[in-house]
Amino acid sequence: MAAAVGASAGEYAVLANGFRLRVDTHEKVDGLVRLHTSGGTIELPPAQVSHFEQEEIIPEAPPPSPSSEDTSIKPATSPRELVEEAAKKWGLPPELLHSVAAAESNYRVDAVSPKGAVGVMQLMPATAAALSADPYDPAQNIDAGARYLREMLIRYNHGLWSALAAYNAGPGAVDRYNGVPPYRETRTYVNKVYRDYQKRAGSKAF
């Protein structure tokens, strides 16, 4: 029996580890908390969900008069700004996403790896297509990379090493070895990202 709890404006599920996920609604089903998001449904044990916060609705401001000076906030354009924006959108620690971006491409929008990974967070074309993103568009590339990293964190119960390994080598390899696969490139990558993340986040790192 499902007990539905709705929120017309949407809400945020705050997880026990501090992550925030935007959800449309949530419900309790067979001892699990089911989160309905724009990307699908996620089920978590109640112990992993701390609480829920209502999404704040900001009323639209009246349009400026033709004579007024344009003081509107410009959209993020630099890779570092886009990383901050994507981290906030997908409930990820910005320090973690910066560490991934630095390791993947050093924030270069024109970076292409020998294997064909594209852009700042080095999306493979197939992964970008699965996420409906244009890997050559920096905003879409970084947004999709953040979304994919979040999916890997959820998939591996927020085990950071496994999630980073899956981002680098694919979830199939992580599942096959039940953890970080014994690939030199992947292990070097995971260590590099994790050390940088610890340096950036300090005591906030998990």
Res 183: pLDDT: 97
**Residue with the two structure tokens 């910066």:** 98
pLDDT band at 2; cut points 50, 70, 90: very low
Q: Distance between CA 99 and CA 95 in Å, rounded?
A: 6
Is the pTM here over 0.85, yes or no? no
User: Average pLDDT, whole number, for the chain?
Assistant: 87
Res 27: pLDDT: 92
Residues catalogued as catalytic = 104
* CA quadruple 32, 37, 42, 48: dihedral, nearest 10: -60
pLDDT band at 1; cut points 50, 70, 90: very low
Residues of the chain with CATH 2.30.30.100: 2-54
* Structure confidence by residue, pLDDT tens digits, 83-128: 999 999 999 999 999 999 999 999 999 999 999 999 999 999 999 9
Pick the CATH number of 79-204 from 1.10.3720.10, 1.10.530.10, 1.10.10.60, 3.40.50.12780: 1.10.530.10
Residues of the chain with CATH 1.10.530.10: 79-204
CATH 2.130.10.10 fits 2-54, yes or no: no
